[in-house]
């Protein structure tokens, strides 16, 4: 009976803590690879800004300065993610800035990788896929 109780407690603790996954900021994505041809900086910016409205969970996008967009996601007023998106005519990159309730664990030492909850990875991947689709559409419209 005590073994059963201990097993239940351990399983509950594991489920309550949840899973985290290793992550690194992705390397810059080539605009010409995503779009198939070069685009102007304004078209790259427009593709990124539009992507924030097209994902299943919408991102609030603000241009901080030319060549830098700040993306904020606020899911159910609990989970929050902030990204910087530096961009140019050649590339863009999704860079982690901050999060709340995403179980972020910074790297512990040299050579270690940070860890974060799976929803972060999913939501950032969705945003990246929308940006790539918009860049392709912008190139096709040229």
Contact 78, 91 (CB under 8 A): no
Tokens of 140: 């096709």
Beta bridge partners of 95: 84
Domain boundaries defined on the chain: 26-141
In this structure, what DSSP letter does residue 28 have?
P
Reported as a pLDDT band with limits 50, 70 and 90, residue 89 is very high
Q: Which residues contact 119 (CB under 8 A, 6 or more apart)?
A: 75, 79, 102
Bigger pLDDT: 9 or 82?
A: 82
Q: What is the pLDDT of residues 57-83, one digit of tens each?
A: 999 999 999 999 999 999 987 899 999
How many other C-beta atoms lie within 10 A of the C-beta of residue 120?
Answer: 21
HSE at residue 76, side-chain half, CA atoms within 13 A, is 4
Calpha distance 83→126 (Å, rounded): 14
pLDDT digits (tens, 9 = 90+) for 121-142: 999 999 999 999 999 999 888 7
């Amino acid at each position: 009976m005590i073994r059963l109780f201990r097993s239940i407690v351990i399983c509950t603790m594991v489920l309550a803590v949840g899973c985290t996954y290793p992550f690194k900021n992705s390397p810059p994505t080539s605009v010409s690879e995503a779009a198939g041809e070069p685009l102007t900086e304004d078209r790259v910016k427009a593709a990124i800004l539009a992507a924030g409205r097209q994902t299943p969970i919408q991102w609030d996008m603000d241009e901080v300065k030319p060549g830098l967009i700040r993306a904020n996601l606020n899911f159910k007023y609990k989970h929050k993610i902030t990204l910087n998106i530096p961009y140019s005519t050649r590339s863009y990159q999704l860079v982690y800035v901050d999060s709340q309730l995403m179980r972020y664990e910074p790297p512990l030492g040299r050579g270690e990788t940070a860890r974060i909850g799976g929803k972060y990875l999913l939501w950032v991947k969705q945003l990246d896929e929308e940006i790539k689709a918009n860049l392709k559409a912008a190139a096709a419209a040229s």
